[in-house]
A and B are shown apart, each in its own frame.
Chain A
Amino acid sequence: MATWVSGTVVQGTDLDVEQQFNKSITNRGERGAYNGVSMGDYLGLPVVGIDANQIPTVCRTISDAISALNAKIEQIDANADQDMAFKSPEIQSAVREYISTVKEYCKALVSNLAAFSDKLVQVKNAWEGSSSAFASDSITPDTSNLSGATEKYQSQYSGFGAN
C-alpha cells in the first residue's frame, strides 16, 4: 500500500494541461473533417485486415479440399454388396448408373466451394484497392493546415525526461 509522506502532497499547479491542449488546437488552423465518430465506435474486433501473401495459400487449401472430397466421392462403390442385394443385370446396371449420377451431383455440390476461392481473390483485390483510396481520402496530409500550429510546448521540468 502506498504511504503518503508528509510534506510531499502537491497543493496545486500552474500547469493547465487542458488549456495547453486547447491552445494547440485553436492555433492549428483548420481541422480535418470530424464526422462525429469516436474511437470507441470502432471497438469490437481489435485487428481487421488481410495478409495478401497468405490468400493464395487459402485458395490452395480450398482447391485441395475439393480434390480430397472428389476422391472420397469416387470411393463410393456402386458395386459393393450389389450381388447380395438384387440379382438382375438390368437392375444392377440401373442402380449403378443412378449412383454414378448421384456421385456427379455430389461433385457439383462440392465444386461450389471453389466460389469461395474466387471470393477470396476478390476480397484481396478489394483490400488492396481500398488501401490506396483510404490513404488519399482519409490521411492525405494538408500541410497548409499545419502552418498555423502553435509553438512547440516546452517542458517546465527539464531533467524529468520530457522534452
Chain B
Amino acid sequence: MDLKSLTIDAARSAVQERKTTALALTEAHYERIKQEDGQIGAFLTLSKERALEQADRMDRLAAEGKTLPPLGGVPVGIKDVMSTRGVRTTAGSKILEKYIPPYDCTAVARLEAAGAVVLGKMNCDEFAMGSSNENSAYQPVRNPRDLSRVPGGSSGGSAAAVAADMAVVTLGSDTGGSIRQPASFCGVVGLMPTYGRVSRYGLIAFASSLDHIGPLAKTVKDAAIVLRTIAGRDPMDSTSADIPVPDYVAELDKPVRGMKLGVAKEYFGEGLDDEVRQAVEAAIDKLKGLGCEIVPVSLPHTPYAIPTYYIIATAEASSNLARYDGVRYSLRVRGVKTLSEMYRRSRDEGFGAEVKRRIMLGTYALSAGYYDAYYLKAQKVRTLLTRDFDEAFRKVDAIVTPTSPTAAFRLGEKSNDPLAMYLADIYTVTADLAGIPGISVPCGETKEKLPIGLQILGKHFDEASILRVAHAYEQA
C-alpha cells in the first residue's frame, strides 16, 4: 500500500468503495510505525485496541453500504497534550507518566465522531514547552528528512509522523509556533486556527490565553477537512467562539486573483537565513503570478514579540502547572513527612529543566513588586502587537512571511542556550499573542534538502482566506 500519497479523501473513499478496509489501513500504518518509528520516536503510546474497534466500526458501515463520515477509516495521531479517555496521556512529562484521563478532549472526540481512527499519542516537548522536541521526558523526536536534525517543536512527533507517513493527519497544539514551526521543519502543512475557533476542552493547559489546537497534514485540503471537523462552539470551553463554521473545503477553490497579500519588512531582517529568504521570496513571486497583489505592510512592534511572549506564556504556565502537586493524578515522591515536602520533591522529580525554568520565570514575573514591571507591561505590549495586525489587515487580506528563520537545526545545537531556542519562534509567536490564524506550507528546500515553510497569517476567524492562498500556492 502506498502510504505516501494517502490523503483523507483517498483513504476514506478506498474504504467506502471496499478497495481496502479501515482495518487494513490501520494495520499498514502500525506496520510502518514498527519499521520507522524506532529511529524517529514520534509515538509515545499506541492505542491499538481503540483504533481497531473504530476501524471495524467503519468497515461495517462500508459493508452495509452506508455513507462513511468525512474521516471514516482515516488513521490519525494525537499530540500527547490532548486527553484521551483510557489511553495514557503524558504531555511529554514524567510527572504524568502514569496518567490515564477519564474523559476525551473535544477535538479528539469530534475527530472520532467523524470516523477517524486514533493510532496513538504523539511525542512532544514537555507540556508543549520547546521548539525542538528535545524537551520530551521520554525521547527526542528526529526529523525524518535528516535524523541528525530536530523536527521542530513542540508538536515534533505530530509533524514527523505525517512526514514519515506514519499517520494521514495529526493534531498538534500551538502556543508560540508549536504547530507551524515543526510543520515547516518536516515539510508538511500545519494550521493554527484563530483563538476560540477550536475548543480547548481536554487540552492540557500550558498558557490558556495562547493555546490552540490544530491539524498537521500532507495537504492544505486535509488541514481544511480537519478544521471543519473540530471547529465550533463547545459549551465545555467558555472561550470557544459562538461563530458559525464555514465550509473550508468548499472555499478552497475560490480564486485568489485580486487578493491583497501583505509583506512586512520586519519578517525579513537580521537572523533570516539566506536560503530561507530566497525560497520565501520565490513563493511570494509565485503568488503574484497567480494574480495576488503584493502590498508592503509594517508590523513595527515585531521585535518585542518574543519578550512579551516569554512573560505572558510563563506567567500563565506557572499558574496552570501548580495543579501537579502529587495529590490527584501526578507523580508523588514517597517517604516524605510533610505535605509541603511532598509538593516540592514531587515537582522537583517530575518536571524537566525547561519546565522548571519557565515556572520560575513566570512566578518571578507575577511576584509582588514585579507584576507591573513584567506581567502588566507585557499585557500592554500584547495590545500594541495586536494593533499592528489590525492596522495591516485594513489594507490586506493576508500576510506572507517565512515560518521560521532557519531550516531544521541539529539536535543539541541550541539545547544549552534557552534564549537562542526561544528565537526559533520569532516569526510565529506574534500570531499566538494576537489570536489570529496562521498556516505553514512547504515552499522548497535548502541545498541540504531540508524543507522550508511559507507562513500565511490571516484575520481573526478568516481561516478560509489563508487556506485558499495556501491551497492555490500548493497546487500551482
A binds B: no
Give A contacts to B, CB under 8 Å: none
